[in-house]
Structure 1
């Protein structure tokens, strides 16, 4: 016993001798003596958060309880500057000076600690998450990025994400509170919560403009020139990314943002951030750790899913680097990790690939990420590239499907999105399950249920990567239909007509004879006149 005690003291002394000023996660042993109870969840969760758990079959647990305030106060009394606490990890994140850590570790309720970054003054800085392009022909590209996922068809059904709350984790949102493109968000009270986690200033409309661009892809609405994918959703904005440095503190920022979003009743998290290599090499993750369970940010994303939150993240922009693989938290099972393709359907060279360390397919899906139109922090329109630009497009699709099928659990909605992918029958570790599609997802979901409208027409897969597309129509057996496909110059490229019955509905169209591009598919039948955009890649 004496020998073991001496060994413990020696190990502790060795650890503390290497301790340094900086930011630390201080973990607690328990949540004893809490004033909260499972029977009264509204004391620490919103009603919407509780309702979301009920829908997803998630039980309230002590994990949801806030950290013991007495523990935090005692740590603070020893000189720690408490930045925030984490209820999921039962920890306090604190800024410490030399000597304070040794006193804190002697507290009986403290279990362990982790050094997560140096003390720092937060400001804007370098940005490695996204690449900019010059403005060019904005309208066409804005249409293509929506059409690829069927978001234009979604909008035709008046589905714009109404009633869905999306949390955006990013590096800052300068100009959002000033630009005309975001005016409706504020006029209609749909920016429902903001939090500057990195600086605790109370102002998210500062720092780096990456978050502004990401938000615009979903939320902007500039009449006649720009429309986001989910412009009528509700939004929560969180600044979690310190772009001038890269330390594990940012993973804890992400964690705490997820906890706050959970408490506030968020439905979807959009995160265009990922973490693998750091300014302190001792913090780096290895490829063997891409198992969805090792990185702190991966644990946080997994916990968010377990609370009934749908999590959409960028795969990463390391396709051209020696790392090449997806970045945590894209390695999590159940997280919808988004890769990037070009307007012609090719994988963007920068898009990170799979598999995970335990050989799961990643990314899960892809969307346009090369040359995506955005609203910049100065209110002008432009283009940007990166998996971080593809991610909010997919989040817009998720929001639309969540609005259309509010009864779906997070896991069921995830399955529906990947099932609608253009490569759902043959997924790989470059594009995952391919490009998902709103109309395709609706067909899958409603496949065994009566249609709401007898004149509905569905075209899938759209975009099309192969030589055939299918057209499903709700028409009486024996009714004739005529299908024309035109290019944008009005030239007839394909014509098909005949009687519709169960044996040939959906109609399979051979499009091998037309090249890549944007086409108009005109469908005519008794009581039906519908024009649908087709993207052939």
Structure 2
């Protein structure tokens, strides 16, 4: 008889709620590493058993192969650990092939160490709370400043305009279809705060996880996460509009209350793994780690090489799986430590420094480079007087790289929305290349302040010049349009017989012309993308007609 397995990304959610015993705040936590994956019921040939359709689509788009690090931890190993005594499972770590448990049962610990498949068992240690870097204060005036599309950014205009982010929004690139995971200390009031009403109404918060107490409740604790989320997702026209207001979100609590502990790096790794399995595109992480209560566990600067810390290894793995990881650089610039925090040191992670509205680096913004000499931070965004919404629904502002990070994360998601076939590394390269000091990067703001108009234009040029890809997509047709059904954007590949102007006419089911665009061919094979005015069209059947001279082609479309 063949056994049918539930998808592991769903089993994970169930385990968080039911595994082991009720949480005891006093019980120590331990990290268990296993020797291998022998006997696992999961197979590389059947990834749908443990990765969501979105996760598989992301891998497929970027030609990322399924490998052994994608396999869940062997459930038989977990069962054996739980059967040793009074042990609570907090979560499994498939990339590290281990689990994190909570227990005060010393006899159980002895039994666990004797299990033949256990490589190591280590206790967590407490981490010293970092010095305060963010200094929120209330904004008493509401500037009403619009982009040309009519988005009323209010107090967020400066942090968007510093990067010409409105250039993306004006093209209706506002995060629709993108999934962003936010890793932070909690998200109090997000379940009722007026700034997130649209997220709730549209069911844009697709999952929540609290890795500190094995629950799904993230709507409490420190207000930092709420502020960060508002920079991404707030929708208060005339007061505050986020950088990716139409994206969907996963809210993940990784930070412990009170005294901080290095197990938070394990929490971060588990959150990144869950984000991967659920098909997240962009991780926005405004947290970082360096020192602990016990100095024996402190990270040294030499360890900030992108490979030595748990969080950096997890962040690098997240990038290998095709996600874009955006992380705050840290607020240590005028403290004794001075340098950036992990996982901002990880390779392929976009580490974000803080500048003021004039583009000058903030004194508190952490220094680079990474210990191995790589440029860090990578880019910079507004982190002085950054606008956000507080837990009471009022628009406030504050200082910190924590606030600069989501500005960039949201705009990166909007940029990727426009160019879905580009890899995460191609998007990151375009962002860095668009930045204000790309030719002369330094250890304060890296490549500089990104310009998303320039990044968009460079990626569009790449697409227009990729005639071999366009020819393959057309497959002997004259025109191909996707997505179909469509919502707020269309990508059009077409073949032209001459250099004459090409007209595109979008006609509704009654024969009425609803939209009209024209394009100059870039050769035999060309590409255009169009967003303007599509979102406001009613749902139904449409026909896209391509006209060049006497030649015509028609494609039937569906708007949802």
Q: Normalising TM by the smaller chain, what interval?
A: 0.7 to 0.9
Q: Contact 1:127–1:243 at 8 Å: present in 2 too?
A: no
**Does the alignment pair 1:93 with 2:107?**
no
**Does the alignment pair 1:247 with 2:251?**
no
Q: Contact 1:165–1:233 at 8 Å: present in 2 too?
A: yes
Distance 2:54 2:133 in 1: 32
Q: TM-score, normalised by structure 1?
A: 0.77
Distance 1:396 1:329 in 2: 19
Residues 67-146 of structure 1 correspond to what in structure 2 (within 5 A)? Answer: 67-79=73-85, 80-97=87-104, 98-117=106-125, 128=132, 130-139=134-143, 141-146=155-160
Task: Indicate the residue corresponding to 1:420 in structure 2.
Answer: 434
Q: How many equivalent pairs are there?
A: 428
Distance 2:382 2:249 in 1: 22
Q: Contact 1:23–1:118 at 8 Å: present in 2 too?
A: no
Match of 1:59 among 57, 65, 68: 65
Between stretches 438-447 and 392-401, larger displacement belongs to 438-447
Residues 195-274 of structure 1 correspond to what in structure 2 (within 5 A)? Answer: 195-274=209-288
Moved >4 Å (runs of 4+): 448-451
Q: Contact 1:127–1:244 at 8 Å: present in 2 too?
A: no
Cα distance per residue 1:356-380 (max 9 Å; x no partner)? 1111110000000011111101111
Q: Contact 2:437–2:449 at 8 Å: present in 1 too?
A: yes
Structure 2 CA distance for partners of 1:127 and 1:209, relative to 1, 3 Å: farther
Structure 2 CA distance for partners of 1:186 and 1:446, relative to 1, 3 Å: same
Q: Contact 1:129–1:273 at 8 Å: present in 2 too?
A: no
Distance 1:261 1:252 in 2: 14
Distance 1:117 1:328 in 2: 17
Q: Contact 2:126–2:259 at 8 Å: present in 1 too?
A: no
Between stretches 164-173 and 188-197, larger displacement belongs to 188-197
Structure 2 CA distance for partners of 1:102 and 1:376, relative to 1, 3 Å: same
SS at match of 1:72: helix
Q: TM-score, normalised by structure 2?
A: 0.74
Structure 2 CA distance for partners of 1:214 and 1:448, relative to 1, 3 Å: closer
Residues 158-197 of structure 1 correspond to what in structure 2 (within 5 A)? Answer: 158-197=172-211
Distance 1:447 1:192 in 2: 34
**Does the alignment pair 1:48 with 2:62?**
no
Distance 2:338 2:37 in 1: 41
Distance 2:166 2:257 in 1: 34
Distance 1:127 1:197 in 2: 23
Kindly state the Cα deviation for residue 117 of structure 1 after the two structures are TM-superposed. 3.4
Unaligned runs of 5+ in 1: 1-19, 120-124, 452-537
Cα distance per residue 1:244-287 (max 9 Å; x no partner)? 12211100100111111111110000000000112232221001
Q: Contact 1:126–1:243 at 8 Å: present in 2 too?
A: no
Match of 1:300 among 300, 314, 318: 314
Q: Contact 1:422–1:435 at 8 Å: present in 2 too?
A: yes
Task: Indicate the residue corresponding to 2:330 in structure 1.
Answer: 316
Distance 2:296 2:142 in 1: 44
Q: Contact 2:305–2:372 at 8 Å: present in 1 too?
A: yes
**Does the alignment pair 1:393 with 2:401?**
no
Q: Contact 2:359–2:449 at 8 Å: present in 1 too?
A: no
Unaligned runs of 5+ in 2: 1-25, 144-153, 466-560
Q: Contact 1:196–1:203 at 8 Å: present in 2 too?
A: yes
Distance 2:314 2:133 in 1: 20
Structure 2 CA distance for partners of 1:243 and 1:350, relative to 1, 3 Å: farther
